[in-house]
Structure 1
Amino acid sequence: MGRTSKDKRDVYYRLAKENGWRARSAFKLLQLDEEFHLFQGVTRAVDLCAAPGSWSQVLSQKIGGQGPGHVVAVDLQAMAPLPGVIQIQGDITQLSTAKEIIQHFEGCHADLVVCDGAPDVTGLHDVDEYMQAQLLLAALNIATHVLKPGGCFVAKIFRGRDVTLLYSQLRVFFSSVLCAKPRSSRNSSIEAFAVCRGYDPPEGFVADLTKPLLDHSYDSDFNQLDGPTRIIVPFVTCGDLSAYDSDRSYPLDLQDGSEYKYTPPTQPPISPPYQEACTLKKKGQLAKETRPQDCPISRVDVPSQPLTSPHHTLLAPEVKHNKPNCT
């Protein structure tokens, strides 16, 4: 099957290529907007951890038409240019990045800050949840520098047993906090999105990127919060129930009976982390091949005289295993 088998695996991956999106994650932001009207009245938006740029594409189409330079995308990796999007290749934990964002907005603050960034998952849920929580807090920290009062903040979150602490931290800065699960997000994934509206920092709060949020001591029972610190965040599903199911496989057969044709990705990754590994693999240098003389095969010692005489009892030859030194 080759490439078509990959297309058959994920319907949103296929639809993203057919509609010109750089990644399937574009549908997540579109479905969040359908539910919460995130782009209503927004003229300045920031996309954190933007690469490969699918969310920046959505922002440029929804609000970028109101004038150039109203969408700023930030990422450590290089990203292919997008019309109406200003790119900053920088670190979201640095104050210089926040100042550059404000500079592109001509001294104004953003109406909307989004972040779809995620670490390279390890499969160890506790580790992945912790890393994602730190990434969300870093995005929230820079959002306190660039987001205007009453603005909106949307970020990916991994729902785990200790997610209540994150909700409590977000509730300190926003009047409304919701946990949303778009239909294009797989049900088997712990991924969800924190939709925070009404940015209202506490009185006396001073934004400081040198001090990480939620950096204090707590005991093993910190998740058992009581009173006003116990935040119950509503869980909302986004997207039409009649839409495609992200966990289901759909056939490649088209309704009109025409033959399916493979569509290449809209924008291949620019300098991905695995680029060097791909180059070495093409040259045959990714793994050193073991030559036969380096790893001798076990042999059986055969007697010099053939045992064909009927007057002798045939004995099984002694087998000697020569262990190869292939370390």
Structure 2
Amino acid sequence: MVKDKRDIYYRKAKEEGWRARSAYKLLQVDEEFDIFTGVTRAVDLCAAPGSWSQVLQRKLYYPAQERIKNGASDAEPIIVAVDLQEMAPLEGVIEIQGDITSTKTSDEIINYFHGEKANLVVCDGAPDVTGMHDIDEYIQQQLILAALNITTHVLQEGGTFVAKIFRGRNVSLLFSQLSVFFEEVYCTKPISSRSSSIESFVVCKNFRLPTNYQPTMIQPLIKQSDQLEGHNRLVVPFLASGDLSGFDE
């Protein structure tokens, strides 16, 4: 039997004008981790169809426009969305049709920020799912490593990175790589994420480049042999996101 995708969040997204139900996942991550406070420059990687860009628009751009309209001297936030696919335009969102593994794309992002770097980078990208968990997890991990790699070019010290992951037996390597660049790494599964899905999200705070590390698009971040195992294995806190009294699937 084909699974009915028209669950409560699907219908709610249609009613509230979101391009996809995934918007609620980012909103619930914010409820738990407060990722938007103080953000004036944000990047949405693998942005199409644009639901996370819409969240950035409604959380950052529209409130700032309202304050400016009322006489405040707020700087207008800059939101950049990146995807290989063309995306329908969104007010207040700059769109780059480009490859996140390209130095040209990272340079273009910095140019839109007038030489500064982002406070927040988010990525809800995912490959076409095959249904074979090991393969899906591996491909997703490579995508997230590409997103992390460009993040090391465009995120400022102290910034935040949020991305979708597929949890599996090799996820500890990803956590160890993230912990090299962020002081705080959390794993969370928003209530709006289907319980049947292996997806979760990493929330990484307080970005800092390791001493003598030079960001590059060519070399991998950490070799496979650097994986932590046994008693040295990194354990990342797992937190549920979203109000437990709210909608559930």
- Cα deviation 1:285-312 (Å, max 9, x = unaligned): xxxxxxxxxxxxxxxxxxxxxxxxxxxx
What's the counterpart of residue 91 of structure 1? 99
The CA distance in 2 between the partners of 1:224 and 1:233, in whole Å, is 14
Give the TM-score normalised by the residue count of structure 1: 0.70
| 1:258 equivalent in structure 2 | none
What CA deviation, in whole Å up to 9, does each residue of 1:52-78 have, x standing for no partner? Answer: 000000101111233556000000000
Letter of the aligned partner of 2:225 in structure 1?
Answer: Y
RMSD: 1.6
**Identity over aligned residues, as a percent?**
62
Aligned match for 1:234, one of 231, 237, 248 = 237
- 1:17-28 equivalent positions in 2, closer than 5 A: 17-28=14-25
- 8 Å CA contact retained: 2:123, 2:164: yes
Task: Report the Cα offset of residue 83 of structure 1.
Answer: 0.4
Of 214, 220, 225, the residue aligned with 1:218 is: 225
Q: Which runs of 5+ in 2 are unaligned?
A: 65-74
Q: Is the CA contact (8 Å cut-off) linking 1:46 and 1:113 kept in structure 2?
A: yes
Deviations 1:12-71, CA, capped at 9 Å, x for gaps:
010001000000000000000011110000000000000000000010111123355600
2:70 counterpart residue number: none
Question: Retained in 2: the 8 A contact 1:71–1:86?
Answer: yes
Give the whole-Å Cα distance in 1 for the aligned partners of 2:31 and 2:94.
Answer: 25
Alignment of 1:142-161 (within 5 A): 142-161=150-169
How far off its partner does 1:223 sit?
6.0
Q: Deviations over 1:224-269 (max 9, x none)?
A: 3433xx21101000111122222xxxxxxxxxxxxxxxxxxxxxxx
In structure 2, distance between residues paired with 1:69 and 1:244: 31
SS at match of 2:44: strand
Matching residue's letter, 2:54 = Q
Query: Do structure 1's residue 187 and structure 2's residue 195 form an aligned pair?
Result: yes
| Structure 1 unaligned residues grouped into runs of 5+ | 247-327
| Residue 57 (structure 2) aligned to one of 48, 52, 60 | 60
In structure 2, how many angstroms separate the alpha carbons of the residues matched to 1:19 and 1:163?
Answer: 34
For residues 167 and 224 of structure 2, the distance between their equivalents in structure 1, rounded to whole angstroms, comes to 22
Distance 1:60 1:85 in 2: 7
Partners of 2:167 and 2:199 within 8 A in 1:
yes
1:49 is aligned, of 39, 46, 49, to 46
**Which structure has greater helix proportion?**
2
How far does residue 210 in structure 1 lie from its aligned partner after superposition? 1.2
1:217, CA displacement in angstroms?
Answer: 4.7
For these two proteins, the number of residue pairs brought into alignment is: 236
Distance in 1 of aligned mates of 2:119 and 2:230: 32
The answer on 1:15 being equivalent to 2:18 is no
User: 2 CA distance for matches of 1:101 and 1:69?
Assistant: 14
Q: Secondary structure at the match of 2:225?
A: coil
Whole-angstrom CA distance in 2 between matches of 1:89 and 1:68: 23
Corresponding residue for residue 176 of structure 1:
184
Alpha-carbon distance between aligned partners in 2 of 1:68 and 1:178, rounded to the nearest angstrom:
30
SS of the aligned residue for 2:110 comes to: helix
Which residue number corresponds to residue 255 of structure 1? none
The equivalences for 1:109-120 within 5 A come to: 109-120=117-128
Amino acid at match of 1:71: I
| Contact kept? 1:111, 1:151, Cα under 8 Å | yes
SS in 2 for 1:226: helix
Distance 2:4 2:129 in 1: 21
Counterparts of 1:39 and 1:26, CA distance in 2: 14
**Alpha-carbon distance in structure 2 between the residues aligned to 1:239 and 1:112:** 20
The aligned residue for residue 254 of structure 1 is none
